[in-house]
Amino acid sequence: MNRKPWAQSSATFKVQLALVSTIPVAIGALFVILGGFDFSIGLIGVFLPIQVIVVGVFGWLKAKKRGLGDALLIFFTTFFSTLVLVLLLSVLGSVIFEGFKALSPHFIYENNRYVGTTTSLEYGGVGHAILGTILIVLLTTVAAVPLGIAMAVYLTQSQSKMRGVVRTVTQSLAGLPSVVAGLFILAVMQFTHLERSGLTGALALFPLMLPTVARVAEESLRLVPADLRMAALALGAPNYKAFFQVILPAAKSGIVTALLLGLARIVGETAPLILTTNMNNTTNLNPFSGPMASLPTYVYNFLGSSYSSSQQRAWGAALVLLIFVGILFGTARILGRKKSLKTSKKAK
């Protein structure tokens, strides 16, 4: 039985739709295959203009000017989102395709101690870089997330006149080029005679993560209705309890998003790490002493090599980084899910 009477269409409409969606593609394909046109010229120069005209005519026939606008809007949004999706998927695809060749169990857990530029992929791996990335990111997160949330709390809950200043500084910090953050820490290191370590790397990532966390957390706290705070205070809650037991839980999923976006901001950062902790071919588990490897710097170091086995390693490391981020995001999403209270059966 048809329960969507508004979705019915006439036979003429169906034929028109079929023609609209096939003719321009066919013409474009003819030009490329038979006419020897370049693919991109076939797409942009032949297919696109014909498709726009055909879609326009189709819309006009359906409902004059109103139909023309609708049809063009639908076409352009679909076309460009597909285009972007294809681009993103091809980046992802090439990392997976190239990286997969390097992937093997020992690639995950071994380090690079005995690996040279031409060493076969049967030896060595990114284990040390994975551990390094985890340690450095963890150090940054431990410092930046509580501070970022604290800033968000200040910006949303306080009545102070300093809020404007704090917000402006945070926002301009968000535009800081990451290499400058690295240079700043490098300068501090020169000045204080601090040697390269995981800690200096984490320090360089800190100003990059902080504003992201603060801004996103601020947005999510701002979305909590003022009613809830009032309700809590009217029940005799002191401010801190109203915040921790009512406002913060209500903003939980937004806070998790803040954490995720903060992580996404730093986990792939390369320049600051090259400057402040650089590369290490062996496993270093002490973030307070000695250079520390990380996945992005690993990719950077090996991708520059002219030897194919080194390049393969770089692709492999990039894939591992992608998987790492995927796991991180998946876990955080599960943790941040709204507490699912049991839904009882309807009892009579």
List of residues contacting another protein (CB under 8 A): 159, 225, 227-228, 230-238, 241-242, 245-246, 249-250, 252, 338-339, 341-344, 347
Cβ proximity to another protein, 43 vs 153, nearer residue = 153
Q: Are 139 and 287 in contact (CB under 8 A)?
A: yes
Tell me the two tokens of residue 205: 């990532």
* Closer to another protein by Cβ: residue 160 or 172: 160
| Shortest Å distance, C-beta 66 to another protein | 38
Q: How far is the CB of 345 from another protein (least distance, A)?
A: 8
Q: How far is the CB of 247 from another protein (least distance, A)?
A: 10
DSSP 225: -
Q: How far is the CB of 242 from another protein (least distance, A)?
A: 7
C-alpha span between 115 and 127 (Å, rounded): 13
Closer to another protein by CB, 115 or 232: give it: 232
> Which is closer to another protein, CB of 197 or CB of 220?
220
Q: How far is the CB of 221 from another protein (least distance, A)?
A: 14
Q: What is the DSSP letter of 240?
A: H
Q: Which is nearer to another protein, 167 or 241 (CB)?
A: 241
Close Cβ partners of 177 (under 8 Å, ≥ 6 residues apart): none
DSSP 277: T
CA distance 266 to 202: 10
Kindly report the length of the chain. Answer: 348
Q: Which helix (H) or strand (E) holds 262?
A: helix 252-267
The pair of structure tokens assigned to 3 is 């329960």
- Nearer CB in complex with another protein: 15/230: 230
Residue 249 CB, shortest distance to another protein, in Å, is: 4
End-to-end CA distance of the chain: 33
